[in-house]
Amino acid sequence: MKTVILAEKPSQARSYVEAFKNGIKKQGYYAVSDPVLPNSTVVTYGFGHLVELATPDKYNPEYKKWALSNLPIFPDNYKFIVPNDKKAQFKVVKDLLKEADEIIVATDSDREGENIAWSIMNQAHMNLKTKTIKRLWINSLEKDAILKGFKNLQDGRKFYDRFKEAQTRQISDWLVGMNASPLYTLLLNKAGIRGVYSIGRVQTPTLYMVYQRDQTIKNFKHEPYFELNAEILAHDQKFVAKLDPYQRFKDEKGLITFMEAKNVQKGQQDGLIKDVQKQAKKSASPRLFSLSSLQSTINKKFHASANQTLQAVQSLYEAKLLTYPRTDSNYITEEEFNYLLPNLNQYLNLVSKEVSLNQTEPNKRYVNGKKVQEHHAIIMTKTVPTKEQLEQLPKLQQQIYNIVLRTTLAMFADPYEYEETTIITQIGAANFKATGKVPTKQGWKALFQDKAEKSSQDEDNQTLPEVNKGEAVQANLVTPQKETTPPKPFTEGTLITAMKTAGKTLDDEEAQSILKDVEGIGTEATRANVLETLKKRNYLTTTKNQLHVTPQGITLCKAVELEPLLTSPEMTAQWEKALKQISTKQWTQEKFLANIKKFVQKLIDEVPEQFNSSESLKTQVTGQREAEAKAKEKAELGSCPSCKTGMIVDKGKFYGCTNYKSEKCSFTLPKRWASKTLGKTAIKALITKGKTNSLKGFKKKNGDTFEAKLKLENNKLSFDFS
Go through 216-228 and write b for each residue having 16 or more CB atoms within 10 A of its CB, e for each that does not.
eeeeeeeeebbbb
Strand pairing category for 430-441 and 237-244: antiparallel
Helix (H, G, I), strand (E, B) or coil at 673: strand
The answer to whether the CB of 516 falls within 8 A of the CB of 527 is no
Closest alpha carbon to 678 in 692, 667, 689, 690? 692
Q: DSSP assignment of 389-443, as one string?
A: HHHTS-HHHHHHHHHHHHHHHHTTSPPEEEEEEEEEEEETTEEEEEEEEEEEE-G
- What is d(CA 647, CA 659) in angstroms, rounded to the nearest whole number? 8
Handedness of CA 134, 529, 577, 333 (dihedral sign): positive
Measured from the Cβ of residue 440, the count of other Cβ atoms closer than 10 Å reads 13
The answer to whether the CB of 515 falls within 8 A of the CB of 288 is no
Measured from the Cβ of residue 639, the count of other Cβ atoms closer than 10 Å reads 15
Residue type, 242: K
40 phi, psi to nearest 5 deg: 55, 65
Measured from the Cβ of residue 327, the count of other Cβ atoms closer than 10 Å reads 26
Residues 6+ apart with CB under 8 A from 510: none
Q: Which of 184, 324, 331, 416 is catalytic?
A: 324
Strand pairing category for 3-7 and 102-106: parallel
Go through 490-522 and write b for each residue having 16 or more CB atoms within 10 A of its CB, e for each that does not.
bbbbbbbbbbbbbbbebebeebbeebeeebbbb
H or E, element range at 41: strand 41-45
Count Cβ atoms within 10 A of the Cβ of residue 524 and give its class: 0-12 exposed, 13-18 middle, 19 or more buried: buried
Vertex 468 angle, CA 467 and 471, to 5°: 95
Determine the distance from the C-alpha atom of residue 2 to the mean position of all C-alpha atoms in its chain, rounded to a whole number: 42
Closest alpha carbon to 85 in 124, 46, 126? 46
Residue type, 584: T
H or E, element range at 530: helix 527-536
Q: How far apart are the first and last CA of the chain?
A: 85
- What is d(CA 13, CA 34) in angstroms, rounded to the nearest whole number? 15
Residue 245: cis peptide before it, omega within 30 degrees of 0: yes
- What is d(CA 318, CA 327) in angstroms, rounded to the nearest whole number? 15
The answer to whether the CB of 473 falls within 8 A of the CB of 268 is no
Closest alpha carbon to 491 in 289, 290, 291, 296? 296
Measured from the Cβ of residue 578, the count of other Cβ atoms closer than 10 Å reads 19
What are the distances in angstroms from CA 250 to CA 266, 479, 483? 17, 12, 10
Residue 72: cis peptide before it, omega within 30 degrees of 0: yes
Residues shown for the chain? 722
Residue type, 693: N
- The radius of gyration of the chain from alpha carbons, rounded to an integer in Å, stands at 32
What are the distances in angstroms from CA 276 to CA 130, 280, 418, 423, 471? 78, 14, 16, 5, 10
- What is d(CA 706, CA 720) in angstroms, rounded to the nearest whole number? 12
Known active-site residue 324: yes
Helix (H, G, I), strand (E, B) or coil at 375: coil
Which residues belong to the active site? 324
